[in-house]
Amino acid sequence: MAPEQMAERAEGGTPPPPRPLDAIDQAILQMLQADGRASIRSVAERVHVSRANAYARINRLIEDGVIRGFGARVDHERAGQGTSAYITLKIVQNSWRTVREQLRQLPGADHIALVGGDFDVLLLVHTPDNKALRELVLMRLQAIPEVLSTRTLLVFEEEDLGPEA
């Protein structure tokens, strides 16, 4: 399934109810999380199934929405995005969908979560420097009418806890 189709399913269509994952499915997921570029052949050999079986299982995991896509883990500092921050937002009640769409358009937005607690949204951003972060917060985020307030938490150091990070 193409990334565009996966995005459409995530947006409009609802995936089928989750099926239980067996030990082979779990092993495939673990392997692909560690190396999203692993070949079908290497997956099949590692989990001790035929290539056709590995291919069918991966496709089923994609179609069921278990695997949402494949990507690279990026060292943001080396990629010119040396400033990272978590930004908390309080938003107008029932405006999540509108705000989420606007946050997706922000340069450097990496993760968006609707949360419960003292604030409504947690946003992770990566910017080239503090000046760009300041502009993002003051000129872009605070310009969204549904955003009532923001709080910026500068990240001093981070560590990727993904498999084989």
Q: Measure the CA–CA gap between 28 and 80, rounded to whole angstroms.
A: 33
Q: Give yes or no: residues 111 and 151 share one domain.
A: yes
Q: Which range marks the domain in which residue 49 is found?
A: 3-63
Whether residues 40 and 96 fall in one domain: no
Domain with residue 109: its CATH number is: 3.30.70.920
Whether 46 and 93 map to the same domain: the answer is no
Say if 77 falls within a structural domain: no
Q: Within a domain: residue 70?
A: no
Clarify whether residues 123 and 151 are in a common domain. yes
Task: Give, for all 165 residues of the chain, the pLDDT tens digit.
Answer: 444 444 444 455 666 677 899 999 999 999 998 888 999 999 999 999 999 999 999 999 999 999 998 888 888 888 999 999 999 999 999 999 999 999 999 999 999 999 999 999 999 999 999 999 999 999 999 999 999 999 999 999 988 776 655
The CA-based angle 32-36-41, given to 5 degrees, is 70
Secondary structure (H, E, C), 9-36: HHHCCCCCCCCCCCHHHHHHHHHHHHCC
Residues with Cβ within 8 Å of 54's Cβ and at least 6 positions away in sequence, in order, are 28, 40, 43, 44, 47
144, 125, 24, 50: which is closest to 81 by C-alpha? 125
Task: Domain count for the chain, please give it.
Answer: 2
Is the residue at 73 inside a domain? no
Taking the model in full, what pTM does it have? 0.73
Count of CB atoms situated within 10 Å of the CB of 79: 10
DSSP state of 128: S
> Could you identify the residue written with the tokens 């999380």?
33
Strands 83-91 and 121-127: antiparallel
- Both 89 and 141 in one domain: the answer is yes
Same-domain pairing of 57 and 87: no
> Domain check: are 41 and 93 in the same one?
no
Kindly state whether residue 111 falls inside one of the protein's structural domains.
yes
Is 125 part of any domain? yes
Question: Do 151 and 87 have their domain in common?
Answer: yes
CATH label of the domain that carries residue 18: 1.10.10.10
Residue 53 lies in a domain: yes
Strands 147-155 and 83-91 turn out to be antiparallel
